Structure 1
Amino acid sequence: MIKSDIIHPELLYALAKCGHKTRILIADSNYAFVTNSPKDATIVYLNLSPGTVAAPLILEKILHCINVESAALMACPQDFINTIEAEYLHLLPESCHIEHLAREDFYAEAKADQTLLIIATGEQRRFANLLLTVAPVM
């Protein structure tokens, strides 16, 4: 029996394939998982129902399995209060570079060949998509 924070077989398998510079997208429930993903990416569906499983919980558990070099969020309007961004910043290591990309730039980066894993969440908050770049083992 696996003794880990993550026991989902497909997720563990996909994480094991992610090396340095590979990208992992934690996608909110509004994301077009199939059309805005590279054709060879693995999509792991953890979106059981609206609001579950939440994206910050998934990030928290993934950070026990991989190191993160950088992260990208979709830029949101200046008057939008992005509560999930604060949760992500609290979880990500201080050394993690955070970038905000315009919508089309974010989609282009998420659809790049380096994105090997898409995790579909039930996260309902807007602008909750988080694109992680895997760091080398330290």
Structure 2
Amino acid sequence: MLRSTLIHPEISRVLAAAGHHAKILIADGHYPASSKKGPNATVVSMNLMPGLITCDQALQAVLSAVPIDEINTMNYPKDDPYTLDSDPPVWNEYRQTLAKLGMNLELKPIDKWDFYDAVATADHVLTIQTADTQRFANLLLSIGVRMD
């Protein structure tokens, strides 16, 4: 039995093969995971029913397994029909998760259409498709290096 929180075999396999700078997309339930991905990406569907699982749950599992250098969020454009007046509430959940784990990482927003471009690169190795129904809950993680 693995000692990390992450025990999903396919996700663990992809992460074990990934290296520094590889990208992991944790996609909300609205994200077009079948078409907005990199050419080397494996898509793992973890969307059982609305809200199960959430992006924050996936984030916690991934953070237990690999070091992360950078976390990008999908920024909400002001002219989008689904825009918000302020940061999505889910971003505070991410900040709380990072703080609880003692990680000194800031969320770095990328404009929506640039976010899609950032995902569609050869470095994108994994999409975890969640059933999170919160708007703009997508995360793009960059794998770091072990320091021990």
Normalised to the residue count of structure 1, the TM-score between the two structures is 0.92
How far does residue 97 in structure 1 lie from its aligned partner after superposition? 4.1
Whether 1:108 and 2:117 are equivalent positions in the alignment is yes
Pairwise CA distance, 1:50: 0.9
Deviation at 1:94, TM superposition (A): 4.1
In the TM superposition, what is the alpha-carbon distance from 1:96 to its structure 2 partner? Answer: 2.0
* Cα RMSD (Å): 1.5
1:30-69 to structure 2, matched below 5 A, reads 30-69=30-69
Code of the aligned partner of 1:106: F
Map of 2:131 onto structure 1: 122
Partners of 2:138 and 2:97 lie apart in 1 by 15
Amino acid at match of 1:72: N
Structure 2 counterpart of 1:134: 143
Give the secondary structure class of the aligned counterpart of 2:94: helix
CA contact (8 A) 1:69 1:97 kept: no
- Cα distance, 1:2 vs structure 2: 3.6
- Consecutive unaligned residues in structure 1, runs of 5 or more: none
Partner AA of 1:79 in structure 2: D
Partner of 1:79: 85
Distance in 1 separating the partners of 2:32 and 2:71: 19
Which residue is 2:16 aligned to? 16
Structure 2 gaps of 5+ residues are 79-83
Amino acid at match of 1:137: R
CA displacement, residues 10-33 of structure 1 (integer Å, 9 cap, x when unaligned): 111011122111110000000000
Identity score, percent? 32
Distance 1:134 1:41 in 2: 14
Give 1:75 shift.
1.0
The counterpart of 1:89, out of the listed 95, 103, 113, is 95
When the two structures are aligned, how many residues end up with a matched partner?
138
Q: What secondary structure is seen at the aligned counterpart in 1 of 2:92? A: helix
Structure 1, 93-102 or 44-53: larger mean CA deviation:
93-102
Q: Is the 8 A contact 1:82 1:127 kept in 2?
A: yes
Q: CA deviation at 1:39?
A: 2.5
| TM norm structure 2 | 0.86
1:40-76 alpha-carbon deviations (Å, 9 max, x no partner): 2011111111110111111111111011101111112
